[in-house]
Structure 1
Amino acid sequence: MNYFVAQYLYAPDSEQIIEIRPAHRQWLGSLLDEGKLVGSGPFTDGLGGALIIIRLPKSATLTDAEELMDNDPFHKADALAGRSIREWNPVINVFADPEA
């Protein structure tokens, strides 16, 4: 499996984020059901933003991860102040691989 980390930037009090959050969480739930979501959640330091970790097949590329994350309602509504997606290698891996 290949792992990717998406970091979202947004204001903690963004009305647009608050409004779209239920659809965003529903979309994340669908990724969880598909075995693609490892974990997600907002930062707790009061500055806003969130981190999402996904797992895709070994053949997946950064472009594949970006295309998947483009389906997030936050992204579709242009509600994010910034987003970065990077391939990640969990050397010490506590994440269960559903194909193992």
Structure 2
Amino acid sequence: MARYAVELVFGDDEATRLAVRPAHREYLATLVERGVLVLSGPWVDDTGALLVFEVDGEGDLEKIFADDPYTPAGVVAETRVHEWKTVMGTWLPRD
């Protein structure tokens, strides 16, 4: 398993993003239930969000984002993906 920190940068269409957000959050809840989404949440200034995933690889992330309601709505201007090597803390990778 690999851990990825993913930053979403929201686009300018706030009305569409807010309309799609309930479906997006329901989708994220299914990822939590499956054990692939470790944590997520928007920045306080609502310009984007941080999501942390534990998946087999970036191919899994591509599928996850393809299925996210935010994707067809076009409300994310940029997605920054970083494989993350955590070394300390309570959210260390599962073995």
Q: State if a TM-score over 0.5 links the two structures.
A: yes
RMSD of aligned C-alpha atoms? 2.1
Contact 2:42–2:48 (CA under 8 A) maintained in structure 1? yes
For 2:47, what is the secondary structure of its paired residue? coil
TM-score by length of 2: 0.85
The structural deviation recorded for 1:76 is 2.4
- Residue 20 of structure 1 is matched in structure 2 by 20
Give the fraction of aligned pairs with identical amino acids, expressed as a percent.
Answer: 28
Which structure shows the bigger proportion of residues in helix conformation?
2
- 1:52 corresponds in structure 2 to 51
Match of 1:94 in 2: 90
List aligned pairs for 1:1-100, cutoff 5 A.
1-11=1-11, 14-44=14-44, 46=45, 48-56=47-55, 60-95=56-91, 100=95
Which 4+ runs in 1 deviate beyond 6 A?
none
- For structure 2, the residue ranges without an aligned partner over 5 or more in a row are none
Structure 1 length-normalised TM: 0.81
